[in-house]
Structure 1
Amino acid sequence: MHISNVSITGATRIRRSVFNEIVAPAFAATTVKGAIEELRYAAGKLELLGIAKRVQINLDKADDDGVGVSFDCEDGGRYAITTGVGASDHEGTANVMARLNNMWGGGESLEANYARGTKTLGAFQGLLSVPVNADPLRKVELMVHQATLDHRPYSSCDEVRRSVGLAYKVSRDRAQHELVYVAAWRELANLGFAASPSLRSEAGHTLKSSIAYTFTSDSRDSPTVPTTGNLVKTSVEVAGLGGDVQFAKALAEVQANQGLADRWSLTTSAQAGLLWGLGGSRTPMADRFFLGGPTSVRGFEHRGIGPRDHNDALGGDVFYAAGVSLLTPLPLVRTDALRGHVFANAGQCALLDSRGLQTKAHVSRFLMSPSTSVGVGLVYRHSIVRAELSLCFPLTASITDRPDPKLQFGLGFQFL
């Protein structure tokens, strides 16, 4: 099949150069099957870029014995405004998002989001996304972000974050690669009267200039309540390209989901992270790991596992967490959106000095003495989030931990 011309109707905002780049592979196809596959792929690109929707491909005989192709579609829409509310064990939030689509005819988008909650005193994020070579799976993104967070329930301070970032993202099949540079100005401020000496020593401003790489492979059937498939996610960050903090940070997460007979499924997951100050420098509290809460190690308060000075959670330089959850059908409930679950969680979080965990005894105690909990509850799968109501029973805890043996409510995207 020889394609002589390609046209598009219905999409009012598309640059001709972008359209030509999208359909070029169809002209280069050497077989009928290959040409049709490339045309379908081009239609999918138009939809993923937000340029068009409900794209139909029509073939007509052309004057030169070739085939004329027309894409009949609807315009992808100029803008969108959404609002929402959310709640979790430690915060309720409300947010509004405005988005401009296909601004310059090549699938570019500009998004602004503002959120406010009981602990998020105000957060704004702006995101400009530009596809590379008209490919919706390759993007360059420019980000600006500012947030003021109230940490007082678990640390006697507020945290102010301001940052700009530039990211390059590539997605292929179910894998995504992300390379990002971030310049951030953070401040621990408004210390409470009862702030501990350790927290007071962390107060003030820090400037971070870092580059990070993240790899994600996700074959799960659902990101919130999966029943089959696996997740592998790793990230590495190096700070010290300017600014006044220097560290290397690594984080890994794995999750395996196995469907069992009669709507039962088993989820096992594990996470681990390491933060290491470079040149003997101290790790900043704003970059440490925190553990505990309804979306983390259940049965403990939010940030309730790990180093603490009086009432202030300090975070850790090294952590691990693991969990197993059995999802079960409920009697007289036919929908899979509401299910029961039985779980067991374990985790540990610690600070390092310049010599790390100094002896085999320290390493053994860190690895072999986790904080643990078990429990039962209900899981509800919404279209975009997961909600849990769990009755938790802490089993073991360190002297600085904050066990929370009660009903916990959690709302979020990722759970241990």
Structure 2
Amino acid sequence: MAQISTDELRVKSLIYEGLERNQTLPVFLTSVKVVGGVHTRDSLLRTHIDPLLAKPYTTTTLLKAVDESTQRLRSFGIFNSVAFGLDVAPSAKNANLNYIPLEGTLLLQEASRIKIKTGTDIGNGDVSAYATGSIANLFGGAETLSADAKVDSLKQSSYLLNYNTPIKNSSMWSADFTGLVTTNERDWASHEETTRGIRVKAVGPGVLGGEQEIGYEAFMRTVGNLPRHASTSVRTGSGESFKSSVFNQFSVDKTNSIVFPTEGYKLKLRTEIAGFEPNNKGDVQFMKGEAQSTFVKSFFNENITLSFGARGGLLWSLLSSGKTYLPDRFFIGGPNSVRGFYLNRLGPSDDEDSIGGEAFLSTGVSLFSRFPNIAKESPLRLHLFANAGSLLGIDRLDPSRTFKKLVSEPSVSAGVGVIYAHPVARFELNFTLPIATRASEFPRKGFQWGLGMSFL
């Protein structure tokens, strides 16, 4: 049996004598033998193999179909290698057929099924320890069971258990089930927030080559552990609240780099409806929408890069009182958001606490340039930016007034700095200058540094 890797796949002179004289004969793939993949269910493999069988192909169309099938199998992430071999069926050598029968061999090398990783992270005055583990191809159908645990010196913790499985053996659609317990310090609002619950979602392809998520969340949120200096608004908003919601999210990323893109665009849209049971007075009830976009373009052989970002969101309570809860409100400001403000310190406040808002709009434009006399491949860039953002509570008697203020009365900052585009994350050190702020906000003049993968 001649075995040919997918990367070099071709039908050579192994086709029986006479094929070269009659290129009009179609080819048929009569059977496929699977070698390897002992932990993988036959039903999963057959979903991607059987559509190849008993169909007339030309040599070119067969190779394309085989390549697409093997690519789908690779996308599950459970194989180190997937290869396909073709040969003429023995019955063809002495038969007078009006087609050429072929036999295929699918060669599979399974990846390691169990992965465990532990470690520590040190940074920004915090020391954390983490442990992650996963079992791939759990039941032979490309399922994955994973667990993550993380604790740090700031008394923050996160525990997650996740199960992911393809839907009907599809390499495109999957079902995702997550149970989680997280505790986070919200220093900007003088409280600790604990979230316990489940998330169920279906994930698949969306328009423009993006990804679509449709799901349900059921979370119990606890706002507690308040310090003595906590404001009246935070104390009033403390306690437990239960959120039962459905959501839809679309995202597309056409940039050429996750950390520091120089060309392309990305877009994310998310909508959520919570507490849709009208007789359940204890549920959180709202409609919420959020949008993010980034457009990047380079000039002069990528010596100059221009980036424009915009984000916006709206939270509308479905309760007659118009009440919203701290865990559901928007918080913006900081080195990864509107620069020139302390983390999540832009918008409404009570005493020293930022209490969030129900409507926000933020925009940013950044100009990056290479350092003079430094190699083109250097990850260092000069950075010039201007940011503007507004975060407000909604005036339910006149919502249009809120939206006008969002656009016409933004807080503004500008600055200059340097970035380092590491393969893992992007580091920024900027000198920021707040230009226009509201009395309730917490601007930050001077040096500000940020670390992450997403910046305004």
Matched, 1:403 2:443: yes
Pair 340,54 (structure 1): closer, same or farther in 2 beyond 3 Å: farther
Equivalent in 381, 393, 396 of residue 351 of structure 1: 393
Contact 1:167 1:180 in 2 (8 A): yes
Task: Deviation per CA, 1:233-283: give whole Å up to 9, x if none.
Answer: 111100013552100001111111112113221110101100000032301
User: In the alignment, which residue of structure 2 is the partner of 1:54?
Assistant: 81
Contact 1:11 1:76 in 2 (8 A): no
Over the aligned positions, Cα root-mean-square deviation in angstroms equals: 2.0
Task: Deviation per CA, 1:163-220: give whole Å up to 9, x if none.
Answer: 2011011125631111010000001001110111111110000000000001112211
1:308-323 matched pairs, under 5 angstroms = 308-323=349-364
Matched, 1:387 2:431: no
Gaps of 5+ in 1: none
Separation in 1, partners of 2:126, 2:445: 19
Contact 1:85 1:95 in 2 (8 A): yes
Equivalent in 235, 241, 251 of residue 206 of structure 1: 241
User: What TM-score do the two structures reach when normalised by structure 1?
Assistant: 0.93
User: What TM-score do the two structures reach when normalised by structure 2?
Assistant: 0.86
Separation in 1, partners of 2:257, 2:446: 28
Matched, 1:260 2:299: yes
The number of aligned residues is 413
Computing the radius of gyration from Cα coordinates, the structure with the larger value is 2
Separation in 2, partners of 1:84, 1:223: 24
Separation in 2, partners of 1:397, 1:57: 63
Letter in 2 for 1:249: K
Matched, 1:44 2:84: no
Separation in 1, partners of 2:339, 2:124: 11
Gaps of 5+ in 2: 1-26, 93-100
Separation in 2, partners of 1:20, 1:156: 56
Separation in 2, partners of 1:219, 1:408: 29
Q: Which moved more, 1:106-115 or 1:364-373?
A: 364-373
Q: Which has the higher contact order (CA 8 A, sep 6+)?
A: 1
Separation in 1, partners of 2:166, 2:214: 15
Task: Deviation per CA, 1:31-53: give whole Å up to 9, x if none.
Answer: 23232222112222222212312
1:211-250 matched pairs, under 5 angstroms = 211-242=246-277, 244-250=283-289
1:84-163 matched pairs, under 5 angstroms = 93-119=128-154, 121-152=156-187, 154-163=188-197
Give the secondary structure class of the aligned counterpart of 1:160: strand
User: In the alignment, which residue of structure 2 is the partner of 1:276?
Assistant: 316
Q: In proportion to residue count, which structure has more strand?
A: 1
- Aligned residues with identical type, % of pairs: 29
Matched, 1:341 2:341: no
